[in-house]
Structure 1
Amino acid sequence: MTMPFHLAGMALPISPELPDLLRKVVREQQLDLTHVSTLTFNFRSPGYSAETGGVHPVELRLIRGLHGWVFDYITDFSYQGVGQDVELCKELDFNLSCDEHYLQGWGPLPGVEARELFALWQRNFISYAQLGYFTVTVSGE
């Protein structure tokens, strides 16, 4: 099974290691992509909690395009609040399909800041995934 990605023209630079990581997940889970037009990956660190912190959960969505899979969005979640009021919220939201990016506490990010933050986030995320911090589930439609 091949899983080509179409990365040309992306607003944020996607490291080749990220599509490789996603291909590996699809291969390990033996997913049949024949009739699938979207894939949603959920990366969860079992030890992450509001009390102790840890590696944030991430949701990543791909859309099948004419020339391969395209990144739709990548969202990094974190616990916000205190005590009974704590809840899992979007901390970083990279909406690659429309080039809009958001950081909690800052709001929308201009292009230069979004690219810098995304590069840092992407390196960390790939490292955490390679070190086995995540349990991954994938759903397709």
Structure 2
Amino acid sequence: MKIKSNRLKRKAPHLTITCDLPIFKPFITLLANVIERHPKVFSITLNYSNADYTAETGGYRPVEIRLERKQGNHWHICYVTEFTYMATPFGQESTYAIDFDFSRELGISLV
């Protein structure tokens, strides 16, 4: 697991957590511990990826989830995006397959 702080790049502190699948069982504990250790962080981006996923062989697709802290200590899911490979004239490119943007009340699917 990798944890990066982007404090220097943004006005509000931002934390990115990158994990390999599967992580469901320790997920809640991990997230609670990270939030507790970084009380000034107002957004968290979770990136899940499987190193075995390729355009040729398939596998678990990469997923990104963004959480933002609102008033008090209430966290909200801003978006959930699943990525896939799409054929283009230049070869296979990674793009979103499904995108739920809860902050804008939008849902988009390319598959």
Class of the TM-score when normalised by the shorter of the 2 chains: 0.5 to 0.7
- Taking the aligned partners of 1:95 and 1:54, their CA distance within structure 2 comes to 24
Partner of 1:38: 43
Paired residue secondary structure (1:42): strand
Q: Kindly tell me the number of residue pairs found equivalent between the two proteins.
A: 85
AA partner of residue 69 (structure 2): R
User: Structure 2: which 5+ runs fail to align?
Assistant: 1-24
Q: 1:83 to 1:55 in 2, by over 3 A?
A: farther
Partner of 2:86: 80
Partner of 1:24: 29
TM-score by length of 2: 0.66
Structure holding more strand per residue: 2
Q: Does 1:99 align with 2:105?
A: yes
Give the superposition deviation at 1:98. 1.5
Q: Which structure carries more relative contact order (alpha carbon 8 Å, separation 6+)?
A: 1
Give the superposition deviation at 1:25. 3.3
Structure holding more helix per residue: 1
Name which of structure 1's ranges 73-82 and 83-92 shifts more when overlaid on structure 2: 83-92
Cα deviations by residue, 1:29-82 (Å, 9 ceiling, x for unpaired): x52231100000000011101110011000000000115100100000001116
Runs of 4+ aligned residues of structure 1 deviating over 6 Å after TM superposition are: none
User: Structure 1: which 5+ runs fail to align?
Assistant: 1-19, 106-141
Identity %: 29
Q: 1:92 to 1:21 in 2, by over 3 A?
A: farther
TM-score by length of 1: 0.53
Paired residue secondary structure (1:81): strand
